């Protein structure tokens, strides 16, 4: 168990994290995986929208108020 935990801790990065989920209950496992996917998708969407907003500001584009 210690070797397993060491491997996870030393190979997970902020860019490519590991998720350890319980596998003894199918519905709970699927719930945890779905929540992790939703969280990652929202994080990516936020980063993309911030990047586009920043790019629009740098180039003078984007929404303008009158």
Contact 32, 49 (CB under 8 A): no
Say if 43 falls within a structural domain.
yes
Say if 64 falls within a structural domain.
no
Q: Indicate the length of the chain as a whole number.
A: 66
Q: Which of helix, strand or coil describes residue 7?
A: helix
Taking the mean position of all CA atoms in its chain, how far away is CA 25? 24
- CA 48, 53, 58, 62: dihedral to nearest 10 degrees? 130
> Is residue 61 over pLDDT 70?
no
- Tally of domains in the chain: 1
Q: Which of helix, strand or coil describes residue 25?
A: coil
Please tell me whether the overall predicted TM-score, pTM, comes out greater than 0.85 for this model: no
Query: Domain range for residue 16?
Result: 2-59
Say if 65 falls within a structural domain.
no
> Is residue 14 over pLDDT 90?
no
């Amino acid at each position: 168990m210690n070797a397993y935990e060491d491997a996870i801790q030393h190979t997970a990065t902020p860019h490519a994290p590991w998720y350890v989920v319980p596998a003894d209950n199918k519905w709970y496992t699927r719930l945890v995986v779905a929540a992790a996917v939703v969280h990652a998708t929202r994080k990516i969407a936020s980063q993309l929208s911030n990047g586009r907003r920043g790019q629009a500001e740098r180039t003078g584009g984007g929404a303008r108020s009158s």
